[in-house]
Amino acid sequence: MLYLIVFTIVYLTIIIYLSYLGYKKTTTVSDYLLAGRQVNPIIMSLSYGSTYISTSAIIGFGGISALYGFSMSWLASLNIIIGVLIAFVVFGKRTRKMGKALDAHTFPELLGRRYNSRFIQGFSGFVILFFMPVYTAAILIGISRFIEVYLKVPFATALLVFLLINACYVIWGGLKGVLYTSAFQGIIMIVVMIIIGATTYMLAGGIVEGHKGLTSMTSYIPQDLLSGGHNGFTSFPRAGSPVWWSVITTMIMGVGIGVLGQPQLNVRFMTLKSDRELNRSIPFTAIYILFTTGIAFAVGALTNVIFYKSTGKLAIESVSGNVDKIIPLYIDMFYPQWFVAIFLVTLMSAAMSANSAQFLALGASLSRDIFEQALLKGKSVAETTIVTRIGIVFSIFATLILGLLMPEGIVAVATAFFFSLCGATFIPAYLFGLYSRRGTKTAAKASILCGFFSSLIWMFFFHENESRAIGICRFFFGQDSLVSHPFNVIDPQVIALPISFIIFVVVSYLTEPVGQDVIKRAFRHI
């Protein structure tokens, strides 16, 4: 406890100082939302990385790796290939240039101005405002589970206290505050994760021995998982089985691809001054992702060997089925107390940086996208920063309520839900908006609406993971899903993303392109 108090005080002092620094340097709206578009590449990488990889990746997906094993290493690879290389090179460069040409401050504003549509901006803002809290809550649950395990306090208390601490600095700091603090948080995260990775492999008996040890544990896997298609922690699940569909379409593809439509990440590209800064950010971000998710997923899988050696149980059995508790319990049981305290501070930092960026994106959605566009019909007013803060407060409350209501073992599922929803809703309109002059306003609207609603319908009535939790399908039809295997385990994004792509292309050919003046302005720097 003493360690925790000392580390937390040191950590919070630095965070408060950095937030104050951000607050002092925040004078304009673009400072508040885009950090003045002059961000250093290393700070950009660390803040992008720490927004992308949060407690949800470490606690939620670390726990999922303990359940499904090394199949999740594909997600780590996709996180780097798609989440860094493709996101920065294919999307990032043009997002930055177009964002600047169109004077866009938020991701919905970029889409709205590119297609000259207030509806697109308002609706995208609405999607973010009402659905991002699910992801925000998932991150918060991740850290609160750790506090619950470590400090033995009730989960609800942990959630409330942490949310209050987090709320304080994001409301005042703006993006500059968030950037400084997330860069600092990113550094702590890398160091701690390297230590955990190295020690876990040591405890498991080395790289090759650890993997072999894990392979030998296949026979201990619970029968329901084996019959669902689980082939062991070092083999891919049986092709076409429920576990295979879930691992491939929801965990690996849902999150791996969905990252491209994440508003709180895309807005980061607009903070950079030139493509040179963007190029320079790529290596640092990739290293960050490698050391965080790469290590977290490997550690997650290897916890099975270590738990079994000392308790005779697999990781999932040690936590009575709540995957979100696996990593917290592992750290708590096998590391010295001072290190557990450091890890907790690291997680707090990860959760704070991701949550704060989300709260900021949420606030901006309310003020610039919904308030200014939908309510004031495009008028810009001085109260924008105040409305942003109101939006942040609203989203904090929404997060608190969702955090208390969501069931156990939900972190990875809720994260995948939001990534998948954003992917299907935004990716086609965003990609064509950056590359095609032919894409039309009607096509963008149709694609966004179809992507969004087909995702939701699939989640409510077909994909059992969500439909069971939501319960609407059972209420109306008396069953959890209207379809049988394999459709009930196929992730919504796999269905909705192609639909929204096709809709965009077809409608674009049938309708008139956006006015030449808008196109000329949008592609001015490209």
Partner 1 sequence: MLGFPDIWIFLGYILTPISTIICLIYGFVNWKKGIDEKDGDYREEIRWEREEIELIEKLP
Residue 177 interacts with partner 1 (CB under 8 A)? no
H helices of 270-325, where? 275-289, 295-311, 315-318
Q: Which stretch binds partner 1 (CB under 8 A): 122-130, 204-212, 328-336, 370-378?
A: 204-212
Residue 172 interacts with partner 1 (CB under 8 A)? no
CB of 105 to partner 1, least distance (A): 11
Which one, 76 or 192, has the nearer CB to partner 1? 76
Count helices and strands in the chain by DSSP H and E runs: 27, 0
Which one, 207 or 401, has the nearer CB to partner 1? 207
Residue 103 interacts with partner 1 (CB under 8 A)? yes
CB of 27 to partner 1, least distance (A): 7
Residue 518 interacts with partner 1 (CB under 8 A)? no
Q: Label residues 194-203 b or e (16+ Cβ within 10 Å = b).
A: ebbbeebbeb
Among 4, 15, 18, 29, the residue binding partner 1 under the rule CB under 8 A is: 29
Burial class, 207, CB count within 10 angstroms (exposed 0-12 / middle 13-18 / buried 19+): exposed
Phi and psi (nearest 5°) for 76?
-60, -40
Residue 211 interacts with partner 1 (CB under 8 A)? yes
CB of 29 to partner 1, least distance (A): 6
Contact 460, 473 (CB under 8 A): yes
Residue 77 interacts with partner 1 (CB under 8 A)? yes
Q: Which two tokens stand for residue 336?
A: 């010295």
Instruction: Give 49-73 as a 3 state SS string.
Output: HHHHCCHHHHHHHHHHHHHHHHHHH
Diameter over CA atoms, the chain: 69
CB of 232 to partner 1, least distance (A): 8
CB of 401 to partner 1, least distance (A): 33
Which one, 274 or 310, has the nearer CB to partner 1? 274
Instruction: Count CB neighbours of 21 within 10 A.
Output: 15
How far apart are alpha carbons 357 and 18 in whole angstroms? 15
Measure CA 244 to chain center. 22
Residue 260 DSSP symbol: G
CB of 316 to partner 1, least distance (A): 19
Q: Residue holding tokens 């619970």?
A: 222
Residue 87 interacts with partner 1 (CB under 8 A)? no
CB of 77 to partner 1, least distance (A): 4
Site size for partner 1 (CB under 8 A) = 54
What is the identity of the amino acid at 436?
Answer: S
Residue 34 interacts with partner 1 (CB under 8 A)? no
Among 5, 81, 472, 502, the residue binding partner 1 under the rule CB under 8 A is: 81
Among 13, 157, 227, 235, the residue binding partner 1 under the rule CB under 8 A is: 235
Dihedral sign for Cα 256, 55, 299, 288, please: positive
Measure CA 174 to chain center. 20
Residues of span 355-414 touching partner 1 by CB under 8 A? 380, 382
Which one, 70 or 135, has the nearer CB to partner 1? 70
Task: Kindly calculate the radius of gyration of the chain based on its CA atoms and give it in whole angstroms.
Answer: 22
Residue 488 DSSP symbol: G
Site string for partner 1, 253-292 (x = CB under 8 A): ---------------------xxxxxxxxxxxxxx-xx--
Which one, 70 or 162, has the nearer CB to partner 1? 70
Residue 294 interacts with partner 1 (CB under 8 A)? yes
* Residue numbers at the binding site for partner 1 (CB under 8 A): 27-30, 69-71, 73-74, 76-77, 80-81, 84-85, 89, 93, 100-101, 103, 207-212, 215, 231-232, 234-236, 274-287, 289-290, 294, 298, 380, 382, 524-525
